Amino acid sequence: MASTAEHTGPGEALRALARCVLVTAGLLARRRIHLPTGRRGTEVRLPDGTCSRVYRETILDRPPATQPCALVVTFRLRAVHGRGHALFRRESLLNTPLFVGFPGFVSKLWLTHDENGVYRGLYDWDGMVAAEHYARSLWWVLALVSVPGSIHHLVLPGVRRDDLLTRTELVARCGPAPRPAADR
């Protein structure tokens, strides 16, 4: 299911993000958020020939999803080049409170930028509506640091996040994150 609306209104997004941060604080206090390292370095080669690697995984201790779906989010960072990408990957851990506490979150694989500068997040989510609400709220945060027009998301019902590692044609359906000619 491709996104039908780019984002929520700013007030709705701010309220959703604030709730998420509060829920995340409780999850951290109960030690329910984990960062396993087993998939770190896993290569994801996309149909267009570009390649990304998993640089982080975030998992929440929770019951199994009753309405599993995968969520793909893509974006290009504005004004980040060279060593700035490594800095972003380290800093991005601080973004965890902006997604882990959303209703339905199960897990996330964080992918490095590919040869076109496109970053990807591959998520397991419980419920298509919840995944879509998160992605539409996230847009406001990403818009602060992303190239205009480069933020895309796709909700895939009945698909698991790990399926995306081998069925990369599904990831590619998320839509291009265009790279301006001046950045090439």
Averaged pLDDT, 91-113: 91
What is the average pLDDT value for the chain, to the nearest integer? 87
Q: How far apart are the first and last CA of the chain?
A: 31
Where is 118: in which H helix or E strand? strand 118-126
Question: Residue 183 pLDDT more than 50?
Answer: no
Does the CA dihedral 106-4-178-156 come out positive or negative?
positive
Any domain includes 3: no
183 domain-assigned: no
Is position 180 within any domain?
no
- Domain of 97 in residue numbering reads as 10-39+52-175
| Per-residue three-class SS string for 94-114 | HHHHHCCCCCCEEEEEEECCC
- For 41-105, give the DSSP string: T-EEE-TTS-EEEEEEEEEE--PPPSSEEEEEEEEEBTT--TTHHHHHHHHGGGGGGGTTTSTTE
Q: Is the pLDDT of residue 87 over 60?
A: yes
Residue 181 in any domain: the answer is: no
Q: For the ranges 4-13, 69-78, 93-102, 153-162, which has the lowest average pLDDT?
A: 4-13
Asked if residue 74 belongs to a domain, the reply is yes
Number of domains in the chain: 1
103 assigned to some structural domain: yes
Q: Which of 180, 160, 179 is nearest to 170 (CA)?
A: 160
Q: What are phi and psi of 176, to 5 degrees?
A: -70, 150
What is the predicted pLDDT for the residue at 59?
Answer: 97
pTM of the model: 0.87
pLDDT by residue (tens digit) across 109-159? 999 998 889 999 999 999 999 999 999 998 888 888 999 999 999 999 999
CA-based nearest residue to 54, from 100, 110, 2, 102? 110
Give the distance, in angstroms, between the CA of residue 153 and the centroid of all CA atoms in the same chain: 8
What are the tens digits of pLDDT across the range 9-42?
788 888 888 898 999 999 999 999 999 999 999 9
Banded model confidence at residue 95, pLDDT cuts 50, 70, 90: confident
- H/E segment holding residue 154: strand 152-157
- Are the C-beta atoms of 122 and 164 separated by less than 8 Å? yes
Q: What is the pLDDT of residue 175?
A: 67
> Could you tell me if residue 47 is inside a domain?
no
In a domain? residue 4: no
